[in-house]
Amino acid sequence: MSNWIEVGKLEDIPRLGSRVVDMERREIAIFRTELDDIFAVANSCPHKKGPLAEGIVHGKKVTCPLHNWTIDLESGEAVAPDKGCARRYETKVESGMVWINSAEA
């Protein structure tokens, strides 16, 4: 199942930063790396549901602001030795606009 939706301009997401898409029943965090890769994962840390969008982004990872778990944005998996997974969504950028597939990847 795919369900692509346009969420906004690439330039509206800060480099090494994040923005949130509010889906009413859930939040999706969109991350932009230094090299403009875009990733989308549930804005909910697998540890205790911390807001990943508020974490520090480094490489292709984000570190949760609440208790420092690090999540690999490519897979949504917590970096070992922590274990857990944040839901991941497909993304694409077309003419400067960011799209996500709101069906889970």
Block residue for tokens 């939706």: 5
Select from 14-22, 25-33, 41-49, 96-104 the region that touches ligand FES (CB under 6 A): 41-49
- The CA distance from 70 to 50, in Å, is 11
- The CA distance from 70 to 53, in Å, is 12
Block residue for tokens 């090299």: 35
Rule CB under 8 A: which of 12-31 touch other proteins?
12-17, 19-27, 30
What is the greatest pairwise CA distance in the chain?
39
- The CA distance from 44 to 39, in Å, is 14
Task: Please pick, from the candidates 21, 69, 72, 102, the single residue that binds ligand FES as defined by CB under 6 A.
Answer: 69
Residue 38 sits in the site that holds other proteins (CB under 8 A): no
Binding site for ligand FES (CB under 6 A): 45, 47-50, 64, 66-69
Binding site for other proteins (CB under 8 A): 3, 5, 7-8, 12-17, 19-27, 30, 33-34, 42-44, 48-51, 54-59, 63, 65-68, 70, 79-82, 102-103
